[in-house]
Structure 1
Amino acid sequence: MPSDATPDPYADPLAFGQRMQILRTRRGLTRDQLGGLVGRTGDWVKKVETGRQQAPRLEDALQIAEALRVRDLSELTGHPGHLPLFTGPGHARLPAVKAAVDALPFTVTGEAPPGEHLAARLARAWSARHQAPNHREIIGTLLPELIRDAQLSVRQADTAADRRAAHAALAEVYSLSQFFIAYQPDAALLWRVAERGLIAAQESEDPHALGVAAWLAAQAHRDSGPAHFDAADAVNLGTLRHLEPLLPDASHEVTAIIGALTFEAGYTAARRKETGVAWRYWDKANEIAKRLPADYYHPVTSFSRAIMGAHAVTVAVELHAGGESVRQAAAADAFTIQSRPRRARHRIEEARGYQLDGQPDVALATLEKAHEAAPETIRYNGYAKMIILEETEAKSPARRQRAAELAVKLGILAA
């Protein structure tokens, strides 16, 4: 290795701080930028890196790993063992949701509500998920009772048909739970819910419930890092093989979940930098979207004709194609996306594209639109935080000020 090359943090046993410095340098972050991402100062980062500060606690290590886009905690600690690291700030409602999930079903008491009543509550919860700017707060409030009542419905079902319907509702509750738990600091809870959702969906024998559960499980695998891409494909493509024969006569809901799963396969391919495969799956998903009415919008995945433009931006960004990302962003109309958090996520993907294309001012303006659409979405998004903190050290005073103001809104810099 040349003497001026960046050392390999895995070649020899290194201290936590040394690994952190190497990985930070590879990401192109200053100490102040990394400190801002994890709620610390640049001086604190320097002390950890130089060994004057002891290695941080696990909670802080997880935040550092997320900021550095490290997929495996052993890259920082040097110890074997994988942890999914897409974590964000723990929501105040998380302990109550966790308690409801952790409660043994046979200890849950009470009378199950009528199936129609539970379905109506779920519909209202999904509406809040897509329309409320503080959707995590609302969903976190609703979930504990929804989990309890859905479990009671399964236990108290009188007939096989009622039991299958109850399992479908329970699978839907677990799907809603995953939207709340994702990117929060409890990976084990997320996996517990994902697995229970898949089991409940299989027990329901409902193709739509199974498709939604598999869609979420595939995302959980993919977001755990490259070592889990094969597992994401196994869940995703296996479910597609099961559902695709239903497509000619499928309902809008089943058609949409098949389309959503098809795009997810392309998303994973884009993460692998498999350009041709990624765009082929996008094309296939786009053809499925054309089967749906122009105004149809899937209540869970947001799959629709309108979403395909946003999906194209995502593929281009994951392929690190800045010019193509901007071209796709110009072609996509974010205002046709009905879901506020999905619209915010699209704006974040657009911002990533503009940043890749060397247009940081447009990237910041786009992130401001994401914040307007759904503040809780951007607050949990590591890519958005990375762009903002990078621009707080821009040469342009106006851009630094704009980025700092947005960082304060997100709570990643003090006012």
Structure 2
Amino acid sequence: MSSDATPDPYADPIAFGQRLKILRTRRGMTREQLGGLIGGKSASWVRAVEVGRLKTPKLDVILRMAEVLRVQDLAELTGDESAHVDLFTGPGHPRLGAVRTAVNAYRLAPSREAPPIAHIRARLARAWTARHAAPNHREVVGALLPGLIRDAQLAVRQSDRAAERRTAQAALSEVYSLSQFFVAYQPDPALLWRVAERGMIAAQESEDPHVIGVAAWLAAQAHRDSGPGHYDAADAVNQEALAFLTPLLPDASDDVLAITGALTFEAGYTAARRGETGTAWRYWDQARAMSQRLPAAYYHPMTSFSHAIMGAHAVTVAVELHAGGESVRQAATSEATFIPSRPRRARHRIEAARGYQMDGQPDAALSTLARAYETAPETVKYNGYAKTIVLAETKSKSPARRRRASELAVKIGLLAA
């Protein structure tokens, strides 16, 4: 090998700082951005850690770095191969293999007739209800998805008339949307992108504004969760969808208005990830105005967009802006609001727990995470933010807090019983 060849950064044991620089660079993040996101550290402090002038930070700082960099396994950052901890991808749900097989299969010569679209839609409706109502929603949805994927694909292939084919494509796109909720935070990013892209293609073929909006909403999330280098792509998908839907709003159904509101908030979510405070809250205000145009009892079946969700969205904006005090204030304001969806309610409590942790209230953070776990255990198990908080508090100097964190860590699979 020539002396100027680029070495494999993981071929030999390397220092923590070198790992930090590699992961930061892969995320397209500057030292200034990373320092600000992990708690007001300067770019020079980050550089000092990277070049080894400062020693490896304490665990709580490492976990904040892991959160910001969204490392899949904590060992990627620490280099400690004896302590693998899945963070932003879970250990892999037992149903993942069957869902992957159904997505990847190409049946060119079907041996049976596709069920009627009305039948597929009825199953889809039951699946969405189960996703929102079941504590073990991934298990329930994962059991339903393989059959739904196969039948929806078959319905598209066997559609003869143009109108019938568009209807089948709409159902298929919705099946892929449901699949993306299941595949998210699983250890197969390629499958996530395959599902997101197929959902968008089917949505465009359906020519259904609501279906197109849902697929765009999920595609924007996939881009945003891929890191700062993908924020522009998230914005592009969002803005394209909003430009398509906005002219339709004067005569739009509640579902189209709701998905437009959800996309509007998503633009604010990405702005908050960028640290753009004014833009993030401006989009939140616009989304809230749209939610107020919906019936009081309305609740969007995919995105949860509604009157009730805006308080939870406010917590998310404040947390992503790393405004601990504001996120706690917003959490207190939204506490009395009931969110019908179990996983969405649990996620809201995780976001509130992040706010409490930022605000220096670890006991409140743990209590809120415990309530999230009671609501939807699988949501907590597969959420990297929840895991970083719990893992940090297992090292607390307070014996009582350490015990509570360890008990929760056992429940979500971070520690052995």
Tell me, yes or no, whether TM beats 0.5: yes
- State the secondary structure of the residue aligned to 1:18: coil
Counterpart in 2 of 1:263?
265
Q: How far apart in 1 are the matches of 2:126 and 2:372? A: 24
Q: How far apart in 2 are the matches of 1:40 and 1:157? A: 44
Contact kept? 1:170, 1:200, Cα under 8 Å: yes
* Change over 3 Å in CA distance of 1:26–1:327 after alignment to 2: farther
- For each residue in 1:234-280, what CA deviation from the matched residue of structure 2 results, as whole angstroms up to 9, or x when unmatched? 11111100001111111000000000000000000000000000000
Task: Tell me how large the CA RMSD over aligned residues is.
Answer: 2.9
What residue identity is the alignment partner of 2:14?
Q
Counterpart in 2 of 1:252?
254
* Change over 3 Å in CA distance of 1:184–1:323 after alignment to 2: same
Contact kept? 1:39, 1:412, Cα under 8 Å: no
Deviation at 1:18, TM superposition (A): 2.6
* Change over 3 Å in CA distance of 1:195–1:45 after alignment to 2: closer
Q: Return the TM-score normalized by structure 1.
A: 0.84
Counterpart in 2 of 1:18?
14
* Change over 3 Å in CA distance of 1:45–1:222 after alignment to 2: closer
Q: Does 1:29 align with 2:59?
A: yes
Q: How far apart in 1 are the matches of 2:379 and 2:273? A: 21
Note the residue ranges of structure 1 that are not aligned, 5 or more in a row. Answer: 1-9, 68-85
Q: How far apart in 1 are the matches of 2:294 and 2:12? A: 52
**Which of the numbers 109, 117, 121 marks the counterpart of 2:123?**
121
Q: Does 1:212 align with 2:242?
A: no
What residue identity is the alignment partner of 1:330?
A
**Which of the numbers 159, 168, 171 marks the counterpart of 1:169?**
171
**Which of the numbers 265, 277, 280 marks the counterpart of 2:279?**
277
Aligned residues with identical type, % of pairs? 68
* Change over 3 Å in CA distance of 1:352–1:164 after alignment to 2: same
Deviation at 1:370, TM superposition (A): 0.4
Counterpart in 2 of 1:79?
none
**Which of the numbers 222, 225, 228 marks the counterpart of 1:223?**
225
* Change over 3 Å in CA distance of 1:134–1:14 after alignment to 2: closer
Q: Return the TM-score normalized by structure 2.
A: 0.83
Contact kept? 1:256, 1:303, Cα under 8 Å: yes
Counterpart in 1 of 2:42?
none
What residue identity is the alignment partner of 1:29?
L
Deviation at 1:335, TM superposition (A): 5.1
Contact kept? 1:260, 1:285, Cα under 8 Å: yes
What residue identity is the alignment partner of 1:233?
D
What residue identity is the alignment partner of 2:141?
I
Counterpart in 2 of 1:138?
140
Counterpart in 1 of 2:30?
none
- For each residue in 1:76-108, what CA deviation from the matched residue of structure 2 results, as whole angstroms up to 9, or x when unmatched? xxxxxxxxxx42110111111111000114244
**Which of the numbers 303, 307, 310 marks the counterpart of 2:309?**
307
Deviation at 1:28, TM superposition (A): 3.8
Counterpart in 1 of 2:375?
373
- For each residue in 1:354-400, what CA deviation from the matched residue of structure 2 results, as whole angstroms up to 9, or x when unmatched? 00001000000000000001000000011111111111111111111
Counterpart in 2 of 1:5?
none
Q: How far apart in 1 are the matches of 2:274 and 2:330? A: 20
* Change over 3 Å in CA distance of 1:19–1:188 after alignment to 2: farther
Counterpart in 2 of 1:81?
none
Q: Does 1:93 align with 2:95?
A: yes
